[in-house]
Amino acid sequence: DAGVIQSPRHEVTEMGQEVTLRCKPISGHNSLFWYRQTMMRGLELLIYFNNNVPIDDSGMPEDRFSAKMPNASFSTLKIQPSEPRDSAVYFCASSFSGQANQPQHFGDGTRLSIL
């Protein structure tokens, strides 16, 4: 079975550029999560969608970050303009439902470096 698919795996770009991260959740899962992992802050939830609707975006750092989920099989996380402090590993995860007992299954992550 295909897991959560993220692209690209690695992204290196210069500050000020727009960055778009992509995620395809597991088929049949209706909850999708975007996380950021850094050494300093560990794993942080950025935004959470349920049935394509954003439920909690309180973790989005600032207006430079935006996320969309136009349909059940695709989501994007966009950073515009990017800054060096955005360098991190970004994970997408999906779960069968938004219920707390459902485990979240993670993609391989996108390692983002902003120069």
Partner 1 sequence: AQKVTQAQTEISVVEKEDVTLDCVYETRDTTYYLFWYKQPPSGELVFLIRRNSFDEQNEISGRYSWNFQKSTSSFNFTITASQVVDSAVYFCALRNSRGGATNKLIFGTGTLLAVQP
CB of 16 to partner 1, least distance (A): 27
Residue 7 interacting with partner 1 (CB under 8 A) = no
Kindly write out the interface string for residues 48-87 of this chain, putting x where it contacts partner 1 by CB under 8 A and - elsewhere: x------xx-x-----------------------------
Structure token digits, residue 13: 């770009």
Q: Is residue 12 involved in binding partner 1 (CB under 8 A)?
A: no
Interaction between residue 89 and partner 1 (CB under 8 A): yes
Report yes or no: 36 and 29 within 8 Å, Cβ to Cβ.
no
Q: Which residues of 19-40 are buried (b: 16+ CB within 10 A; e: fewer)?
A: bebbbbbbeebbbbbbbbeeee
